[in-house]
Every structure is written in C-alpha cells, then in structure tokens.
Amino acid sequence: MPGFGLKNGNTVFLTSKATGQNLRVHPDGRVDGHGGEGKLAQWTVHRVDKDTVKFENKNNGNWLRIEKDGDLNGLGKGGPLTEFKLIKHKDDREISLRSAHHEGHVGVLPDGAPKNAHNTGTGPHGRFTVKVHA
C-alpha cells in the first residue's frame, strides 16, 4: 500500500465510491462528486507528514477543506482546515479523508452533492480511490 498514489507533488483524481466520478471544485468553491478528468477535478498532493495530506485544486489554486460546521468546499488557502488524515482501507485500495483538526470526513452523496463532514464516516459516501494524472 505504498501511498495510494499520494506522493508529494502528484496530480491526482479522487474518485468517489458513491458516484463513480471524481471530486471536483467549481470556480465559486462548491464541491461535488460529478467530475470528469478536467482541471476542476485535478488535485495537487501536498504531504504534511506520513499520515496527513492536503489537496490544492489545479483549476483555481484553492484547497479542499472542511469548515468547523462540517461544510466541505474548495475555498481553502492551505491552512489547518485543509489538512486531512489518511485512512487506508487495505482490503479494497480505497481511502477516507478525516479532518486533521476537528470531527468529520470528506464525503459525497450518491447524487454527487457534498455530504456534511460531521455526518460522514468511512462508509461508501466517505471512500475514494486515487488515480494519478498521467
């Protein structure tokens, strides 16, 4: 399980188990799980340490974050709310992303809408596979 493709500097797609599509951020910061393989769905990996990562969007330069109220958006500037602890699911090569500083996980509902982090765990709505952009 060497890193799941989450090497510092890699550009990756985070494919939602709930939708089968990629996590993307719109120019206004809204996040959803209906991305293809364009820049809205491309994320640069920034490793904080062995178990902590941050994701910078290739389109707008903002970062994926979970607000203290559990809102998931793409308006971060690289601060603490953009740090995620990796949870690796060894049996199926999927990951979950838990906020490093408060309760909650990155999650997407089957209709593609972001799920409030406080209501998201490590089940299907909170699981992603990582694909490295070629």
Q: What pLDDT score does 91 carry?
A: 72
Dihedrals φ, ψ of 38, to 5°? -85, -175
CB atoms within 10 A of CB 103: 12
CB atoms within 10 A of CB 86: 18
54 in Cβ contact with 48 (< 8 Å): yes
The answer to whether residue 67 scores a pLDDT higher than 80 is: yes
pLDDT cut 90: percent of the chain above it: 90
110 in Cβ contact with 21 (< 8 Å): no
CB atoms within 10 A of CB 5: 17
The answer to whether residue 76 scores a pLDDT higher than 50 is: yes
Query: Can you tell me the mean pLDDT for 72-95?
Result: 93
Q: What pLDDT score does 3 carry?
A: 56
Angle (CA) 80-84-88 rounded to 5° is: 165
Q: What pLDDT score does 93 carry?
A: 86
Q: What pLDDT score does 1 carry?
A: 38
Query: Can you tell me the mean pLDDT for 115-132?
Result: 96
Q: What pLDDT score does 52 carry?
A: 96
Q: What pLDDT score does 5 carry?
A: 80
| Chain mean pLDDT for the chain | 94
Looking at this protein, which amino acid is placed at residue 76? Answer: G
